[in-house]
């Protein structure tokens, strides 16, 4: 049974997606299932349509994307999947809703460390998992992730839930670099340096720093851009103004980054148009548009970052392949529970 145009229009608030039984959809269309909010990708959609004449219909879901495509089965109208976080991309692959794509254009634009070796997902932009630090109380201009377990930070660190995908990605990178035994000890040290139990989101960590509740926190780079430019809530601009970004491990292996990415849906009825859309998204033009919208870094080497992102300072990304991080996410999650990170400091 297929969703009607009316239902899709309600879900989208945009262009409806119509499915037909077993047949490809109308020529000149591509259907995008997205975890990213419509306003963030609309400029990309508009630019693609202007360049190619192909209409891109976007279905936004805040959860259950893999389950939905699985339930739709072979008659799913999904052509392209857009999402954030290596965990969700791997979830889509492991959930059997993607298909491999070998494409010279895309592989040329997207470095190997940011794509699946089997071609089932591709990164588009990166966000650094950095340290937010108080401009007033933290004189340091450099830091490492390893240093976060140093007792000198005791009672000075705040963070969001240790099991959140952003943190699990970072912790998985620590496992990949140092092994599980080291990471367990490191997480214990991090826990004992917390000012409070993990709570809130990345933005609220910046708020806590301004309020003097902690001096440093973990956060994604793009949230700083969102706070700096938030005209609806001037208070967030104050939180951003009170903090500075430190790029961990800039002097050695580089800062951990995660990605937003894309995948070709398993049963894409408009496969040719889907590939054209993915080729467009991998291009420098599209990555610059995308990065400008979401305050992230294009994966294409040499692509321009937005002025806001440039103001954060230069990032040196960790070259660790994201598949290595994904392979250690389960271990990282288990270690978070083992050390009781979310219980907060114990001494």
222: Cβ–Cβ under 8 A, 6 or more apart, which residues?
127, 294, 295, 296, 309
222 is in an annotated binding site: yes
312: Cβ–Cβ under 8 A, 6 or more apart, which residues?
221, 224, 225, 245
Contact 128, 225 (CB under 8 A): no
* CA–CA gap between residue 187 and residue 256 (Å, rounded): 16
Contact 345, 201 (CB under 8 A): no
99: Cβ–Cβ under 8 A, 6 or more apart, which residues?
120, 264, 265, 266, 268
3-state secondary structure of 304: coil
Strands 243-246 and 122-134 come out as antiparallel
> Which of the 8 DSSP states describes residue 207?
H
Task: Give the 3-state secondary structure of 41-95.
Answer: HHHHHHHHHHHHCCEEEEEECCCCHHHHHHHHHHHCCCCEEEEECHHHHHHHHHC
Contact 298, 283 (CB under 8 A): no
329-339 vs 86-94: helix crossing angle, rounded to 10: 120
Sign of torsion over alpha carbons 90, 206, 298, 67: positive
182 is in an annotated binding site: no
Output the CA torsion 150→151→154→157 (10° steps): 0
Q: Residue 262 is encoded by which pair of tokens?
A: 């894309």
Residues that constitute the known binding site for Fe cation:
222-223
Residues that constitute the known binding site:
222-223
């Amino acid at each position: 049974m297929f969703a009607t145009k009316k239902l899709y229009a309600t879900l989208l608030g945009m262009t409806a997606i119509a499915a037909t039984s077993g047949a490809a959809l109308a020529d000149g269309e591509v259907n995008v299932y997205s975890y990213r909010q419509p306003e963030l990708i609309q400029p990309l959609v508009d630019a693609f349509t202007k360049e190619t004449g192909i209409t891109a219909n976007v279905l936004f879901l805040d959860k259950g994307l893999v389950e939905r495509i699985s339930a739709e089965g072979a008659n799913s109208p999904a052509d392209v999947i857009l999402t954030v976080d290596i965990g969700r991309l791997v979830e889509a692959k492991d959930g059997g809703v993607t298909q491999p794509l070998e494409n010279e254009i895309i592989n040329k634009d997207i470095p190997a460390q940011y794509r699946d070796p089997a071609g089932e997902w591709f990164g588009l932009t990166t966000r650094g998992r950095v340290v937010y630090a108080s401009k007033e109380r933290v004189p340091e201009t450099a830091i490492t992730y390893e240093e976060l377990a140093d007792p000198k930070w005791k009672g000075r660190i705040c963070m969001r839930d240790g099991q959140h995908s952003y943190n699990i990605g970072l912790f998985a990178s620590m496992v990949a670099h140092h092994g599980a035994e080291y990471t367990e000890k490191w997480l214990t040290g991090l826990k004992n340096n917390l000012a409070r139990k993990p709570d809130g989101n990345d933005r609220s960590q910046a708020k806590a720093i301004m309020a003097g509740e902690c001096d440093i926190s973990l956060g994604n780079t793009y949230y700083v851009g969102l706070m700096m430019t938030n005209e609806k809530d001037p208070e967030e601009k104050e939180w951003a103004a009170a903090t500075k970004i430190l790029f961990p491990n800039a002097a050695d292996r580089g800062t951990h980054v995660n990605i937003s990415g894309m995948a070709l849906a398993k049963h894409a009825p408009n496969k040719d148009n889907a590939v054209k859309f993915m080729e467009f998204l991998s291009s420098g033009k599209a990555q610059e548009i995308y990065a400008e919208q979401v305050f992230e870094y294009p994966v294409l080497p040499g692509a321009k970052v937005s002025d806001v992102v440039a103001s954060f300072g230069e990032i040196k990304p960790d070259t660790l392949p994201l598949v290595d991080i994904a392979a250690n996410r389960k271990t990282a999650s288990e270690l978070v529970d083992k050390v009781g990170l979310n219980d907060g400091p114990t001494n």
